[in-house]
Amino acid sequence: MVMTSKKVSKGRLRSLLEGDVDKKQLNLIRKIRGEYLGEATEVENQLSNVIAIHFFPGYPFDKTHHDQYRLLESTILGHRSFTFSAKADALQYILKQSHPDLYEKYKGTLAKLRKVIEHRNVLAHGYFVQELPLPDLLKTQLNRPEQVMVETFSKGEVVSHFLTLKDARVKLKEAKDVSDSLGRLWAEIRKQAEEALPN
């Protein structure tokens, strides 16, 4: 993904968003956004599962803590103020404090998780723009017709993100890899907890 940054007024951005919609471009936007947000949701669910298994390692096989697990899930992990980023922070803290060996082993996954969250936020909250601010970006658009431009706001500036279908597939695979890695982490935390139980 290519990023550029420049000041553009919100009025100019709105004018870029108005007008006829190119159906091919719109379908590409829907495909890229829909597939990635779906996978990002799976990553967030896996993240919640890893946090929950730390506190209730026997669940879902041991129903003793079913009510407490559901309470954690509904009041904390599922609460709107406990964001995707906050969950990543919580997992990092849990691993550093309680599972330092796993923290070292999954440090790369945590870094990739941050990138998944960042990209998810761009796609979820950014504006998809069909026309490029001409003329300086026209050549880029003509050379890469199967791309979309997403604009986000950061510190009073518009940041443009260019994403091709190939880029989107790479990002989607990276998100799936993070989800798989979190699944393995879940199993390792659960195994450590079982081994720590008295016989």
Summarised one tens digit per residue, pLDDT across range 30-78 is 899 999 999 999 999 999 999 998 888 876 666 777 788 888 888 888 8
Alpha helix positions (H), 99-156: 100-105, 107-125, 138-143
- Rounded to 10 degrees, the C-alpha dihedral 93/97/99/105 comes to 60
- 145, 22 in Cβ contact below 8 A? no
Query: Phi first, then psi: what are they for 135, rounded to 5°?
Result: -100, -10
Residue with the bigger pLDDT between 181 and 79: it is 181
For the chain, percent of residues with pLDDT exceeding 90: 46
For the sheet containing 2-6, what is the strand order?
2-6, 157-164, 147-154, 127-129
Q: Residue 98 and residue 180: Cα distance in Å, rounded? A: 22
Q: What is the mean pLDDT of residues 128-139?
A: 56
For the chain, percent of residues with pLDDT exceeding 70: 77
Summarised one tens digit per residue, pLDDT across range 95-114 is 999 999 999 999 999 999 99
